[in-house]
Structures are given as C-alpha cells and as structure tokens.
Structure 1
C-alpha cells in the first residue's frame, strides 16, 4: 500500500498539515467522511486551490476497510507503516463505530494512539493533535490518554465512557476524566493563543471550570462563561492560525512550555456523535489555518458550525 504514498517535498510554501485518519472494520462512514470533507476543502487562500492546507492519509490493517454502512475505503498505508511515520504526522483522527471488538482484542488503532502520544511526549518540538469522532473516544480512554482531561462522545455512550474512564483510572492509578455532553471538547489548546487568560476565549480557568460544574448541576441555571464564549461572547486578542502554528513549532519558548504540559502538549479533541466530527475538524481549521478559512469551509459545505467547549485541562 505504501506505493501510492508520496511525501510532499520539504520546504514547500505553505507545506500542508499532515492528517492521518485510521480505518477499522465496522466504523461509521460519517466519522471519516466528515473530517475528510472539512480538511479537503480548507485553503490558505480561497481563491487559490493550490494553497490546500491539509494532506489527508488513511491507515488500516488491510488495504480495504468496510464501514457499518457498507462503504469501502482504501488505505494509503498499513498500521505497521503508520507506526513508523508518526513522527511526521500533525493530526491523528480516530473514527468511532464498531468499537467493542477492538476494545476486547486490544487491537489497532489502540497501539497507534498510544505510540502517537509517546512520540509527542518524547518530542514536544512539534505541535500535534489527536482527535476522536463519536465513540472513537473509547479508544482514547482505553489507552489512558484521557486521564486528567475533559472528554465527550455520542450522547448515547456518555455513561459507557464514564464507566470506562473510571475503570482505566483505577487500572492505571491515574487522574479521572471529566466526561461531559458537548459538541466537542478540546484539551491542551495552543498555549500562545492569548497573552493572558482573561482575554482568551479558548481557555477555561479553574475558577470558571468550578463555576461551570456548579451551574451544570443546577437545572435552569445561566450559561457558563465557556458557553457564553462559544456562542460569540467576549472577543479574543489571542493569536491563532497558520502563522501561530508555524511559530509554535519553531520558537524555543513555545517548545519549552509545551514540554511541561500534560502529554507533552498533545492537543486532545473528542467530539460528540457522528456529524460533530465536522465541527471538531472546523475548529482545527480555525486553529491551524484561520477562522476565515474555517468559515469558508462551513459555507461551502452548507454547514452551520456548532462550537464546543475548550479547556486547558481540568486538573483541579
């Protein structure tokens, strides 16, 4: 399968962000197609198709993988090949559906997920993101990735994720995961989005997190600060987008800060059910390219971007 895989030349202008999407038997097709569509449309310049912002690759056990809906996807590489290439991957996307058999067998993509996190911890010089769609969060939970973070999944599987995270925390003697029902949840966001926490809409402070939990448990209460921000609340003076992403991979202080974050600064995103993967991917376009690029993708796809919750960790 590697014969159809070719790396773009190093140093190319606007070198694309490399996205690897895993495939497994019985997965939900939309969990793959949603993010694929978003990343495929994203451009640095909407007038110039040559400025595509992402390069998407598929990894699977076999060359052909069949979804729960009967559609078949062709992989660019095997999982064994992908394990060797993780150093060069910027975003790893894990779809859901058909999770039970894999969790029981401890099969792929579980080893790939763990290895990706290890790569980031050993080499925090590069900004990387791990994103699950729908019940793909179960794989992250089983691998211990969600310890001390916040996470979400398909609404029908919230309780199952809570139980799995609790069992894993006891197994690993690790911090708990706060499971919440959201469109998507982002942990370990880029720390240099804003110079101070008060003006940065992408950080939920510990005080705000406690208030969010209090209000969440009170029926009919007002929206939490993060919910107000997600619905167009106070503006950000922070930096984000392609220039900031490049700087985050080159500035010495950025690397040092990232190395002190949980998982070596690995950004961890879990999304809710099926189409929520589109919203999570749009967040990634906004963070790595620009908000304008994300809005343009949503426009082309005739999709209303529903924002999620972004935190800097819930280790409180």
Structure 2
C-alpha cells in the first residue's frame, strides 16, 4: 500500500499566514484577520478548498491580551525565525506598543528579517500587514522608508515622529503618514509586462467617469468594449485569474520577478491598517488580491460585515 497521499484534483495548497503575539496586545487585531483568513475558500461550495492556513507565533506558549483573553501560540519566535521563508503573509497586531518599542523585542526582529528576506530573495511574493498600532513597530524598524502608511487615528502624531526619527537614523526617505482605512504599497495583481493589464489600476479620467456614473445610479462608465474592461466592476481584466495559481505563476515568471526586485523592499507588499476592526478590511483586501474578489465578498457576507475600502498607492481600489 502506497504511503504517498495524492491531493484531490484541483487542490491548491493554502497560503501560510503567520500572526504574531505579544503581551497585552489587542485581541481584535489578531482575531479580525484570523476570522477573515479562516473563512476564505477558493470554492464557496467546497469546505476543503481553504485558501489560507493561519498559525500564531509568540514569546511563550500563552499570551494574555489587553482585554484578558488568552491566545495560544503554535510556535515560539525562535521557530518562527527559522521557518520565515515558508510564510506568505505576516500579520502584526498592535496594542500595548510602548513596551515592545522600548525593548525592541519581538515581533520587531521578525518584521525586519521578513523584509530582508524579500529583498534578498524577491522570487517569492510576500505580504506584510500591520493592524492598528502594529504599524509603529514597522516604522521603528525603518522598513517604511519611502512608503505610505497609516495607523490608529489617536497615534498618527506618534507614528509620524517614529517614522521621522527612523528616516534620520537610517539617512533614508521619510514615510508618508496618512489617515486611511488601510494603505497598500507594492500592489501586485498583474502578471503581465504592461500596467494596462492590472485590473486595479485606472487612470484619473477613467476613475472620475466611473465614479460619476456609479453615483448617478447608472452603469459604470467603463464597460466591455471600452478599453477592454469589465462591465461589472470597472476594472481592466487581469492577464490571469487571481488566486494561488496566479500567485504561483507570478513567482516563476522571469519578468514578474525582475519587476518585483526593482521595487522597494524587493516588492514586499506592505499593508498598514487603521484602528482595530480595520484589520478585517485589510485582510479582506488580501483575500481579494490572493484569491478573488468573489471570495472576499463571500467572506464579508458570512461575517455580516461591510467591507470598508482603503487606499492603494499607485492604484485605485474601486
């Protein structure tokens, strides 16, 4: 009898998501993305088609949040550092950030190592997402240099100071701090050579007309037959369907890898989100990016949640 277990036809290996834990963190910062990634499926009718596998890394087996909830880590930070190359998406929750910033303890070394890994090996597509004040950890490491980012509205000034100090320390570009639901840098929906193949990028004229038609209750201005765009959502059709298969292709196509290598941080997709529940919105964005828009909308429907869109740098999230 063979010991080899064959995967069912059409099986797509789940992407690996690592969520970090630290003492007195905010429970929702981790629970929100966890729920989104846990619900996401390639096929809504097939519970075996899970799109993501989520694991926790912490300083000890159990971490108590600021709300008194206990989270159990699957692995410690030492193990997480060893297995970092396996991770597709790294999620950094916030809450009780002062202690981590002062001691420069985990997850800050993990964040820096993840970014360095992408710069050294841009052949793999990776994503780093912070929730709420988790952005302060990213800012302190200096990896937000030249990028645009957000955090909880109450911490914007502190975030700006941290990013400014990091820029001076590293003699690097400053981070553009904005107040948005979420901010995406280094978006990577396209697989082709031409930006015209990117379904999430519209020029200003197209966007203005699209919003005008949408607000007036009419059909989106961008329809089939005009610039080859989709009649349903105004986005240009992508060169290939989104999802883990497209992700796999983009990790092997030479031109995609070269394009990624020329971006900041080796093309690491960096997503920062605003306060607490915005982590749900950022995670839904990633489901849309890595699986499909339909999968993201289905997760939002199951959660009885209205997806609040944010800002995509050099692109438009319509």
3-state SS of paired residue (1:279): helix
Q: Please, which moves more after superposition, 252-261 or 302-311? A: 252-261
3-state SS of paired residue (2:258): helix
3-state SS of paired residue (2:83): helix
1:308 equivalent in alignment to 2:306:
no
Contact 2:189 2:200 in 1 (8 A): no
Q: Which residue matches 1:241?
A: 242
Q: How does 1:83-122 map to 2 (within 5 A)?
A: 83-122=81-120
Q: 2:45 aligns with which of 34, 44, 47?
A: 47
* C-alpha separation in 2, matches of 1:233 and 1:92: 37
Q: Which residue matches 1:65?
A: 63
Q: Which residue matches 2:231?
A: none
3-state SS of paired residue (1:18): strand
* C-alpha separation in 2, matches of 1:124 and 1:300: 35
Q: Which residue matches 1:214?
A: none
* Cα offset, 1:101, TM superposition: 0.6
* Cα offset, 1:159, TM superposition: 1.1
* Cα offset, 1:312, TM superposition: 3.8
Q: 2:29 aligns with which of 4, 28, 31?
A: 31
Q: 1:289 aligns with which of 282, 288, 291?
A: 291
* C-alpha separation in 2, matches of 1:29 and 1:65: 10
Q: 1:140 aligns with which of 111, 118, 138?
A: 138
* C-alpha separation in 1, matches of 2:47 and 2:174: 44
Q: Which residue matches 1:255?
A: 257
Q: Which residue matches 1:3?
A: none
TM-score scaled by length of structure 1 = 0.85
* Cα offset, 1:202, TM superposition: 3.4
Contact 2:43 2:49 in 1 (8 A): yes
* C-alpha separation in 1, matches of 2:277 and 2:291: 21
Q: Which residue matches 1:15?
A: 13
Contact 1:141 1:165 in 2 (8 A): yes
Q: CA deviation digits over 1:223-254, x for unaligned, max 9? A: x96x9599988621142521321211121111
* C-alpha separation in 1, matches of 2:192 and 2:135: 28
Unaligned runs of 5+ in 1: 1-8, 209-223
TM-score scaled by length of structure 2 = 0.84
Q: 1:155 aligns with which of 153, 156, 159?
A: 153
* C-alpha separation in 2, matches of 1:278 and 1:173: 34
User: Deviating runs (4+, > 6 A) in structure 1?
Assistant: 9-12, 229-233
Distance 1:37 1:270, change over 3 A: same
Find the structure with the greater CA-based Rg.
Answer: 2
* Cα offset, 1:180, TM superposition: 0.5
* C-alpha separation in 2, matches of 1:256 and 1:200: 17
* Cα offset, 1:198, TM superposition: 6.1
Q: Which residue matches 1:82?
A: 80
Distance 1:298 1:256, change over 3 A: same
3-state SS of paired residue (1:255): helix
- After superposition, the CA RMSD in angstroms is 2.5
Contact 1:39 1:53 in 2 (8 A): yes
* Cα offset, 1:189, TM superposition: 0.7
Distance 1:36 1:191, change over 3 A: closer
3-state SS of paired residue (1:185): strand
1:128 equivalent in alignment to 2:129:
no
Contact 1:192 1:238 in 2 (8 A): no
Q: Which residue matches 1:278?
A: 280
